Amino acid sequence: MRTLRYALRRLLVGALMLLALSMVVFVLLRLTPGDPVDAYVNPSSPLSPQDLLNLRASLGLDRPLPVQYLIWLREALQGDLGYASSGNGDPVLPLVLSRVGPTLLLMAVGLSIAVLAGMSAGVLGAVRRNGAADLSLSVLALAGISAPSFLLALIGLYVFAVRLGWAPSGGMETPGEPFSLPDLLRHLILPACLLSIGHGALVMRYTRGAMLEVLDADYVRTARAKGVREVAVIGLHALRNALLPVVTLIGSTIGLAVGGAVFIESVFNWPGMGLLLVTAVRARDYPVIMGATLVVGACVLLANILTDLIYVVIDPRIEVA
C-alpha cells in the first residue's frame, strides 16, 4: 500500500513537472525571433495586411500570452495538440505518436547494449583492478564519455556505412522492399551501437566504482573465507549490492539518451522523435515542437518514476517514505 501511495505521489509530481515544462517551452517558443504566422503563409503567395490580421486572430495569436497558453493547455488536456503548420497540416498528436515507436526501439536497443556491455566491462575492471584489462577499459570509457554524440554518428556513418559498407547509411528499412525483421536489424544495429557508446562508458565507470567498494566489504571477505566460489561471490553477493547506484544512473541517462537520439536520428534519417523535432525546428512548426516536447517529457518522467520503483525490488531494505 505504501508503494502504491508513493507511486501516485510521484505521478502527481511528474504531472506538475510536465506542466512546468510545457510553460517553459511555450514561452521560449514565443520569445524566439520571427512571427509564428509566417509558418502558415506560402512565400510565393503573400497575404495582405488585413488577411494576416485575420489569420492571426483565427490562430489566437492576437491574445495575451497567458491566455494563449491556457487555450493550448485546455485543448491539450482533451487530446488536441493542434495541426502541423508545415507539410500536409496533419494533426499533431497522431503525427507525434507515430514517431514514438521508432525512437523507443532505438533507445531500448541502444540502452540494452550499453547496460550489458557497461556492466560486464565494469565488473571485469573491478575484478582485475589496475591490470591491463582495467586500464584499457578505463581509457576506452573516458574516450566514450568525452566523444559527442554527433561526432560519433558522423564517424560511424562514414566508416561502417560509406567506407566498409557493413550497414545501411540511413532509414529504418530498405526502400522498395517489403518489411522484414532482418532488414530492420541491419538498419538498427549501427545507430543503436553508436547511441550506446557514451551511456555504456558511464555504466562501466559506475559499475566499476560500486564493485570496488563492495568487493572490499566484510561480508564479501567472509563469503570467500567460507569457500564460496568466486563466481558466486561476484554474481550473488557483490554485483547485486552494487546494482543500486547503477540503476540510478540508468534512470537518469534516459533523458540524456533522448538528446543523443536527436543527433543519431538526424544523421541516419531514422524516422523517430529526434528527426521530427529537428524538422519541426527548421520549419518553425510550433505545434509540432510543443507536442513532441510534451510527449518526450512525459516518457522521460515516466522512466524516472519506474526507476524509483525498481529500487525497492532490487533492495528490499529500502523503505518507501
Confidence band for 315, pLDDT divided at 50, 70 and 90: low
φ and ψ of 91, to 5 deg: -60, 140
Would you state the pLDDT for residue 312?
63
Higher pLDDT, 8 or 51: 8
Would you state the pLDDT for residue 119?
86
Would you state the pLDDT for residue 3?
67
Domain of residue 256, CATH code: 1.10.3720.10
- From 77, 109, 128, the end of a domain falls on 77
Distance, in Å, from the CA atom of 196 to the CA atom of 217, rounded to the nearest integer, reads: 31
**What stretches of 216-238 show up as alpha helix (H) in DSSP?**
218-225, 230-232
Distance, in Å, from the CA atom of 204 to the CA atom of 220, rounded to the nearest integer, reads: 21
319 in any annotated domain: no
Would you state the pLDDT for residue 166?
85
Distance, in Å, from the CA atom of 206 to the CA atom of 204, rounded to the nearest integer, reads: 6
In terms of Cβ atoms closer than 10 Å to its own Cβ (0-12, 13-18, 19+), residue 230 is: exposed
Would you state the pLDDT for residue 184?
87
Q: Do residue 121 and residue 267 come from a single domain?
A: yes
Mean pLDDT of the 179-194 span: 87
Residue 45 sits in which domain range? Answer: 14-77
pLDDT exceeds cutoff 80 at 94:
yes
Distance, in Å, from the CA atom of 294 to the CA atom of 75, rounded to the nearest integer, reads: 13
Would you state the pLDDT for residue 39?
67
Higher pLDDT, 70 or 247: 70
Distance, in Å, from the CA atom of 312 to the CA atom of 4, rounded to the nearest integer, reads: 12
Using the 8-state DSSP alphabet, how is residue 238 labeled?
Answer: I
84 in any annotated domain: no
Q: Do residue 111 and residue 64 come from a single domain?
A: no
157 in any annotated domain: yes
Write the CB contacts of 160 (distance below 8 Å, at least 6 apart in sequence). Answer: 166, 167, 190
Q: Do residue 57 and residue 106 come from a single domain?
A: no
Give the 3-state secondary structure of 243-300: HHHHHHHHHHHHHHHHHHHHHHHHHHCCCCHHHHHHHHHHHCCHHHHHHHHHHHHHHH
β-bridge partners, 83: 91
Q: H/E element holding 115?
A: helix 92-127
Higher pLDDT, 169 or 226: 169
- From 77, 109, 132, the end of a domain falls on 77
Would you state the pLDDT for residue 271?
87
pLDDT exceeds cutoff 60 at 15:
yes
Q: Do residue 180 and residue 45 come from a single domain?
A: no
Q: Do residue 105 and residue 201 come from a single domain?
A: yes
Q: Do residue 64 and residue 122 come from a single domain?
A: no
Mapping DSSP to helix (H, G, I), strand (E, B) and coil, where does residue 91 land? strand
* pLDDT digits 0-9 by tens, 248-275: 777 777 766 777 777 888 888 888 888 8
Q: Do residue 134 and residue 235 come from a single domain?
A: yes
130 in any annotated domain: yes
Q: Do residue 73 and residue 146 come from a single domain?
A: no
Among the listed residues 255, 206, 207, the one whose alpha carbon sits nearest the alpha carbon of residue 107: 255
pLDDT exceeds cutoff 60 at 320:
no
Strands (E), the chain: none
50 in any annotated domain: yes
294 in any annotated domain: yes
Q: Is 47 left (phi over 0), alpha (psi -120 to 50) or beta?
A: beta
Confidence band for 88, pLDDT divided at 50, 70 and 90: confident
Q: Do residue 176 and residue 273 come from a single domain?
A: yes
pLDDT exceeds cutoff 60 at 169:
yes
Number of domains into which the chain is organized: 2
Confidence band for 43, pLDDT divided at 50, 70 and 90: low
* pLDDT digits 0-9 by tens, 288-301: 888 888 888 888 78
- Mean pLDDT is lowest, of 164-173, 178-187, 239-248, for 239-248
Asked if residue 220 lies in contact with residue 233, where contact means CB atoms within 8 angstroms, the answer is: yes
Q: Do residue 63 and residue 176 come from a single domain?
A: no
Q: Do residue 146 and residue 20 come from a single domain?
A: no
Among 56-60, 179-183, 228-232, the range with the most confident prediction by mean pLDDT is: 179-183
DSSP states along 13-64: HHHHHHHHHHHHHHHHHHHSSS-GGGGGS-TTSPPPHHHHHHHHHHTTTTS-
Q: Do residue 162 and residue 253 come from a single domain?
A: yes
Confidence band for 316, pLDDT divided at 50, 70 and 90: low
Distance, in Å, from the CA atom of 43 to the CA atom of 46, rounded to the nearest integer, reads: 6
250 in any annotated domain: yes
86 in any annotated domain: no
